[in-house]
Amino acid sequence: MARTLESDREIHAPRGTVRTCRSWGTEAALRLLMNNLDPEVARDPHHLIVYGGRGKAARDWESYDRIVAALTTLSDEETLLVQSGKPVGIFPTHSDAPRVLIANALVVPRWATDEVFWDLESRGLTMFGQMTAGSWVYIGTQGILQGTYETLASLARIEFGGQDLAGRWMLTSGLGEMGGAQPLAITLLGGVGLIVDVDPRALARRLGHRYLDVEAGSLDEALELVRGAVRDRKPLSVGLCANAADIYPELVRRGARPDIVSDQTAAHDIRVGYIPQGMTVEDADRARASDLPAYLLRVKASIAVEAQAILELIATGSKAFDYGNNFRTQARDAGVDRAFDIAGYVPKYIRPLFAVGSGPFRWLALSGDPEDIRRIDRMILSEFSSNEHLCRWIRLASERVKFQGLPARICYMGYGERERFGHLVNALVHDEEVAAPIAIGRDHHDTGSVASPYRETEAMRDGSDAIADWPILNALLNVASGATWVSVHHGGGVGIGNSIHAGLVIVADGTAAAERRIGRALHNDPGIGVARHADAGYPESQKIARNSRFRVP
């Protein structure tokens, strides 16, 4: 029987305090799965695609329906296993065990190529789960917004000696599910952005969600707006509907020098994530269907043109970085020998945060009531007032971030802070200061949960970039700690063959049992990140490890 890969149904997570499942743990899994496919959240929900090229929430619609049915009957003495988006068994466990265990896109290394994987996927045998699509904790553009904000804030400190980007401008491309966060992150830090995207629908969406300020009708108009805002030190994001491979070289030709340059197209999946020069999105769809090899050659040629322009901008003084979308690898494969002269953003700007156990941490209001998130915002501003950087972000997010789907918030929190936060949130639920339990999770892009040599673990101090034991240990530890669900994925962020990563979600339902699980999971999860970096020889990590609750043998 043919699989159903397309449906016109519209999915929205339930709201309120009435459960459709037997516990809040399984109710949270159900609501977050559905939230991933909310039209406000997902890129292409009719095909179960959430973000990042073809990152999906479930393998096909039959699998989705079976997962939903399983969650609604699952007891607190059972665990559902999901194999690449397909439910494959419900096993007897115990109340402190995860309610769901997920493995996505895992392929034996010798066969972990695009050609093999996507052939297996086309035959219905696997699914690409990206990072938070197939682990059911994607929260829309906000999910990447704070990480982009942290990256640019670190860049401002390291490259320019300041706390913001006032009076500086950034050239970048991509306004999809990940890249769409860039314009708002730039303006939250007081900077000016010129963001290029070939898809007019992407620009319209970001304008509608207030992530993008204005759209220019031409490059001349865009540069005029950028120069005026830089001169006036006024935050502004300018969108331009064009191809980055056309615009970047043109800026070089004109002698325009942005302070910062990057790219956040979905270049990790060049079949659908990067449109070549001379084509619209619709042209690309037709070319891809009629002659894929010829189409891919055009894609690679365009990536090479853009990468060469970025190298020329670096030579003029621009600060450029690869934002983890495998752009440099694609450019090198296309013949740009110096592609890796473009710095990776993690070793350059984020590693100091990872080394001390700090990374992207998020929570969702299962009630669907935005006031629950606002109540937690107020708690953070009170209880974490000594962390001014965190509080500044929370204030900005509360003023500027539009919720997509279930109300949610994200921030960078470190070792010790996450556990304390979890206990405080559990107390709010217990005391009925929020309407319903809170699901607490994180990105897979985190301090100790990923092996990705072209992104999170690029240029590790001890050369352990490709060691993938750590994300597996992270997942195993989170299972032992009692997380509500745990997932292990392959390829998210940078594509098949390039990463292994793990995620968790834990539900604060106000109970004493949740309090115990939070105390284990939200201590151990960032703790293994500290241990991973201590083992790699980072002195700041070793110092924390010596004074931690966990022990280093």
The residues pairing with 505 across neighbouring beta strands, listed in sequence order, are: 441, 485
Q: Residue 9 gets which letter from DSSP?
A: -
Determine phi and psi for 201, rounding to 5 degrees. Answer: -65, -35
- Sheet hosting strand 343-344, strand order edge to edge: 214-216, 236-241, 192-197, 169-173, 260-261, 319-322, 343-344
What are the φ and ψ backbone dihedral angles of 115, each rounded to 5 degrees?
-60, -45
Q: 43: exposed, middle or buried (C-beta count within 10 Å: 0-12, 13-18, 19+)? A: buried
- Look-up of token digits 């620009």: 203
**Residue 502 host element (H or E):** strand 500-508
Strand spans (E) along 147-235:
169-173, 192-197, 214-216
* Distance, C-alpha 138 to centroid of its chain: 8
**β 100-104/359-365 pair status:** unpaired
* CB contact at 8 A, 425 and 508: yes
d(CA 550, CA 553): 10
Name which of 50, 136, 120 is nearest 87 in CA terms.
136
Q: CA 106, CA 120: separation in Å to the nearest integer?
A: 11
Half-sphere exposure of 523 (CA within 13 A, CB side): 16
Q: Which of 21, 241, 391, 411 is catalytic?
A: 411
Q: Are strands 450-451 and 438-442 parallel, antiparallel or unpaired?
A: unpaired
Q: Between vectors from CA 246 to CA 54 and to CA 229, what angle results, nearest 5°? A: 95
Cα 53 to Cα 178: distance, rounded to the nearest angstrom: 10
- Identity at 105, one-letter amino acid code: A
Known catalytic residue at 391: no
Q: CB–CB of 143/132 below 8 Å?
A: yes
Q: From CA 196, how far away is CA 509, in angstroms rounded?
A: 43
| Residue 242 · residue 203 · CB < 8 Å | no
Alpha carbon distance, N-terminus to C-terminus of the chain = 54
Residues marked as catalytic: 411
